[in-house]
A and B are shown apart, each in its own frame.
Chain A
């Protein structure tokens, strides 16, 4: 038998969820593993792409879920909660310990900043066998995941656990080292570091730029959250106004409530639908009693004896769309009004702390680090930069994506390879679904309330039962996945599935076309010679064509008829007592 294999399309076809993920996590793959109850294997598969399954399961903005094909039928698959559950099960039931890679390279790599970008870069480089050291200013690693996101959304032990995984791979993290003072690019080079990745993030809150910002009782959001995370609880008054509409604003507002504020209001200059914060976060804040005032912007902060007394605001109306495509808010003259508050938390954005960085790395405005968008190279050879420091404030998963790209570039740089070759986007979204109406609807069966087990006290037995129930729900939810991409490459069933593809015995094929009629994925069709040909990119290895071929001219590479009959012999020969 002669196998026909051809690659009709050069681009690698992937499901939309995987294309949407900045870190390229194989979403369809781990969802397929969860369907089979293989939670630990699912986590391992995620770790092939990035080191933060539990963190992203909690705080990711889930572009995968937004891209999910099932949204065309009913609701997208609850991917983030599935990831969270899988990661939690793995952590609770004993972590799969990382295998420290042999140090195959001698070139030391220094990473500045132990946030998601720096950590993922270190993770990838350590897996490739490089000795990596991360320099972190704060007393603990994690960056914004540790010091920016409040505990109720992302528990510190979750962050610590995932960082310890990276350390177990052999990555050294030096905390309390401030870059730009004793440690500089020059000093690192002197210490023998051959490549440097700058991932210092965007650590400063953007100033409001209104009078009264220097008053006691004004806490910029990032600093406010960092102090809370450090345990240095700032003194806040009974009435708190948070200014801004992003996740940081919501985090600050919900944190203020937890610190004992009686009344917390969010002042946002646009409308609710324009808020960049995650909808679930906005809902949660509303539930907790945070008041929202839309279309208002602060004009000045009023004080008394040097302390905040009130915030004077202007009402806004919508004008023409701005460069971001959103309607531009315009102040309405004479609409001044005041809110009496004791604390004001500006949360209108973050800035990059440029003072610690050499000016050659910065862009013209001195506001961000310049780096090549594809390779993350900077002006200085051997120095790379990525994450919030380059892009401005973004998300964990985008930082992870940048860290991975940097690791790839550093590896190429240190081994003398071309930094660009073959790195342009070679992937393409692909789905076999042509007619969405034909797909059966399945209501969402699994929500956050199912994951948050910790909220109700339960006995040990009940907890066990609850876990079984939750696992079942999660498996059902995972079954909502349409498997819309080509083979999910979950590698969960290697003996049968991996690379199982149909092959055609050309001598026997009569060109009856039954295979093409029955293939669910249009992966087999008659070629110009009238003989069936398999497109191995599209073939998912189900074997329907092999079972249907009238001439029995199609076989499977792994699950062949001979193999199946041998398995039948094996099970029939087994003695069961």
Chain B
């Protein structure tokens, strides 16, 4: 049987050619059938929603916005670009293939171009095979990782950083400091790594309480490094001490944090 990837395309209203009827599979010849979710602007695409879409079983997620001077909302397309760039870095940490997420520009008058974009992405996702999240195993490493990544995408610190990227890199802050793009990228990477590992720990100890040593083994980290995260997470009320087994404290995740 040929593998037909399930691709969800978040398309901005203005880049969607009028020939395409979103509610029914398109009948235009040579035009691949994809699953379109329409928004007013590509800038509407919340990183958390993209991660949720993967968890819901999409094999690939395509975000389509307008070419840069055409954006109806001035810079909604660059907003989308920033979010997708961040998401790709985040996904890289999870062992899930970041190539399953793609951002493209289109114009409502260029249906052939859109067809080319979709065909290309579809072939690419087809060659990657079905998403590991659709195997049915709810506790596999990748499922835990993507759940953690989704939590990162919902996380205040990270969203604040992404939301301030433009301000930080283009204008100076109130103290007159300006951050270069390289510096910002480094900061983003650090934050992503730290937040990802914390949310992964959170995912791991949601199921059952674990000790620092056990967590370190699961996350392939030094116990000392793990402890740093545990201390940080306790301070943020992400986790709490469950009980002490012998002399070893065991931690468990807290629901809302």
Q: Report A's interface with B, CB cutoff 8 A.
A: 32, 35-38, 432, 439-440, 442, 471-472, 475-476, 479, 483, 493, 496-497, 500, 512, 514-515, 517-518, 520-521, 540-544, 546-552, 556, 559, 561, 564-565, 567-569, 571-572, 574, 576
A35 and B33 within 8 A (CB): no
B37 and A576 within 8 A (CB): no
In the complex, what residue of chain A is closest to B75 when comparing beta carbons? A520
In the complex, what residue of chain A is closest to B110 when comparing beta carbons? A472
Q: For the complex, give the distance between the alpha carbons of A556 and B39 in Å.
A: 11
A547 and B35 within 8 A (CB): no
List of A residues within 8 angstroms of B74 by Cβ: 432, 520-521
Which of B18, B44, B53 gathers most chain A CB within 10 Å?
A: B44
B107 and A479 within 8 A (CB): yes
B13 and A497 within 8 A (CB): yes
Of the candidates A36, A568, A576, the one whose C-beta lies within 8 Å of that of B14 is: A36
Given contacts A35-B14, A561-B46, A568-B53, contact A496 B163 (CB under 8 A): no
Of the candidates B33, B44, B48, the one whose C-beta lies within 8 Å of that of A559 is: B44
Does B8 count as interface, using CB distance less than 8 angstroms?
Answer: yes
B72 and A568 within 8 A (CB): no
- Which are the 10 A-B pairs with shortest beta-carbon distances? A543-B44, A571-B35, A514-B163, A37-B18, A520-B74, A440-B69, A475-B109, A550-B159, A542-B73, A544-B43
Given contacts A36-B14, A571-B8, contact A561 B49 (CB under 8 A): yes
B73 and A572 within 8 A (CB): no
List of A residues within 8 angstroms of B72 by Cβ: 32, 483, 540, 542
Given contacts A567-B37, A574-B35, contact A540 B159 (CB under 8 A): no
Q: For the complex, give the distance between the alpha carbons of A250 and B184 in Å.
A: 63
Given contacts A37-B17, A37-B108, contact A440 B40 (CB under 8 A): no
Q: Report B's interface with A, CB cutoff 8 A.
A: 4, 6, 8, 13-14, 16-19, 25, 33, 35-41, 43-49, 52-53, 56-58, 68-70, 72-76, 79, 83, 107-110, 154, 156-157, 159-160, 162-164, 166-167
Which of B110, B163, B166 gathers most chain A CB within 10 Å?
A: B163
List of A residues within 8 angstroms of B167 by Cβ: 517
Distance in Å: Cβ of B54 to nearest Cβ of chain A: 10
B44 and A517 within 8 A (CB): no
Q: For the complex, give the distance between the alpha carbons of A271 and B154 in Å.
A: 68
Distance in Å: Cβ of B169 to nearest Cβ of chain A: 12
List of A residues within 8 angstroms of B164 by Cβ: 514, 517
Of the candidates A442, A472, A475, A497, the one whose C-beta lies within 8 Å of that of B69 is: A442
List of B residues within 8 angstroms of A471 by Cβ: 109
Distance in Å: Cβ of A474 to nearest Cβ of chain B: 8
Distance in Å: Cβ of B60 to nearest Cβ of chain A: 12
List of B residues within 8 angstroms of A512 by Cβ: 160, 163
Of the candidates A36, A542, A564, the one whose C-beta lies within 8 Å of that of B43 is: A542
List of B residues within 8 angstroms of A500 by Cβ: 40
Of the candidates A36, A561, A567, the one whose C-beta lies within 8 Å of that of B18 is: A36
Q: For the complex, give the distance between the alpha carbons of A476 and B39 in Å.
A: 21
Given contacts A475-B109, A518-B79, A576-B4, contact A547 B160 (CB under 8 A): no
A-B contact count (CB 8 A): 151
B25 and A576 within 8 A (CB): yes
Given contacts A514-B163, A552-B154, A572-B6, contact A559 B40 (CB under 8 A): yes
List of A residues within 8 angstroms of B40 by Cβ: 493, 496-497, 500, 540-543, 559
Q: For the complex, give the distance between the alpha carbons of A574 and B73 in Å.
A: 31
Distance in Å: Cβ of A526 to nearest Cβ of chain B: 14
A568 and B56 within 8 A (CB): yes
A548 and B52 within 8 A (CB): no
List of B residues within 8 angstroms of A569 by Cβ: 56
A36 and B41 within 8 A (CB): no
A493 and B13 within 8 A (CB): yes
List of A residues within 8 angstroms of B56 by Cβ: 565, 568-569, 572
Which of B48, B56, B72 gathers most chain A CB within 10 Å?
A: B72
Q: For the complex, give the distance between the alpha carbons of A37 and B79 in Å.
A: 26
List of A residues within 8 angstroms of B58 by Cβ: 568, 572
A546 and B156 within 8 A (CB): no
Can you list 19 A-B contacts with CB-CB less than 8 angstroms, sorted by A residue number? A35-B108, A37-B17, A432-B74, A472-B110, A483-B72, A493-B13, A496-B39, A514-B160, A517-B167, A518-B166, A520-B73, A520-B74, A520-B75, A540-B73, A543-B41, A544-B41, A544-B44, A550-B160, A568-B56
List of B residues within 8 angstroms of A497 by Cβ: 13, 40
Given contacts A572-B6, A572-B56, contact A479 B70 (CB under 8 A): yes
Which of B8, B14, B25, B43 gathers most chain A CB within 10 Å?
A: B43
List of A residues within 8 angstroms of B4 by Cβ: 576
List of B residues within 8 angstroms of A571 by Cβ: 8, 35-37
A544 and B108 within 8 A (CB): no
List of A residues within 8 angstroms of B163 by Cβ: 512, 514-515, 517-518, 548-550
Distance in Å: Cβ of A435 to nearest Cβ of chain B: 11
Of the candidates B8, B38, B157, B162, the one whose C-beta lies within 8 Å of that of A572 is: B8
In the complex, what residue of chain B is closest to A556 when comparing beta carbons? B44
Distance in Å: Cβ of B151 to nearest Cβ of chain A: 12
Distance in Å: Cβ of A56 to nearest Cβ of chain B: 24
List of A residues within 8 angstroms of B35 by Cβ: 571-572, 574, 576
Of the candidates B8, B44, B166, the one whose C-beta lies within 8 Å of that of A547 is: B44
B49 and A565 within 8 A (CB): yes
In the complex, what residue of chain B is closest to A540 when comparing beta carbons? B73
B156 and A547 within 8 A (CB): no
Q: For the complex, give the distance between the alpha carbons of A572 and B58 in Å.
A: 7
In the complex, what residue of chain A is closest to B107 when comparing beta carbons? A479
Distance in Å: Cβ of B79 to nearest Cβ of chain A: 5
A496 and B49 within 8 A (CB): no
Of the candidates A521, A551, A565, A568, the one whose C-beta lies within 8 Å of that of B156 is: A551
Distance in Å: Cβ of A117 to nearest Cβ of chain B: 35
Give me 10 other A-B pairs in contact (C-beta within 8 A), A471-B109, A496-B38, A514-B163 excluded.
A439-B69, A475-B107, A514-B159, A542-B43, A543-B44, A547-B79, A548-B162, A550-B159, A556-B44, A571-B37
In the complex, what residue of chain A is closest to B39 when comparing beta carbons? A559
A476 and B109 within 8 A (CB): yes
In the complex, what residue of chain A is closest to B168 when comparing beta carbons? A517
Given contacts A512-B160, A552-B48, contact A496 B109 (CB under 8 A): no
Distance in Å: Cβ of A530 to nearest Cβ of chain B: 16
In the complex, what residue of chain A is closest to B155 when comparing beta carbons? A550
A576 and B166 within 8 A (CB): no
Distance in Å: Cβ of A558 to nearest Cβ of chain B: 9
Q: For the complex, give the distance between the alpha carbons of A472 and B113 in Å.
A: 13
Distance in Å: Cβ of A17 to nearest Cβ of chain B: 16
List of B residues within 8 angstroms of A439 by Cβ: 69
A543 and B39 within 8 A (CB): yes
In the complex, what residue of chain A is closest to B157 when comparing beta carbons? A550
Distance in Å: Cβ of B162 to nearest Cβ of chain A: 7
Distance in Å: Cβ of B127 to nearest Cβ of chain A: 19
List of A residues within 8 angstroms of B57 by Cβ: 572
List of A residues within 8 angstroms of B156 by Cβ: 550-551
B109 and A37 within 8 A (CB): yes
Given contacts A520-B73, A568-B52, A574-B35, contact A475 B44 (CB under 8 A): no
Q: For the complex, give the distance between the alpha carbons of A432 and B74 in Å.
A: 10
List of B residues within 8 angstroms of A548 by Cβ: 79, 159, 162-163
B13 and A576 within 8 A (CB): no
Q: For the complex, give the distance between the alpha carbons of A521 and B157 in Å.
A: 25
Distance in Å: Cβ of A72 to nearest Cβ of chain B: 15
Q: For the complex, give the distance between the alpha carbons of A572 and B37 in Å.
A: 10
B43 and A547 within 8 A (CB): yes
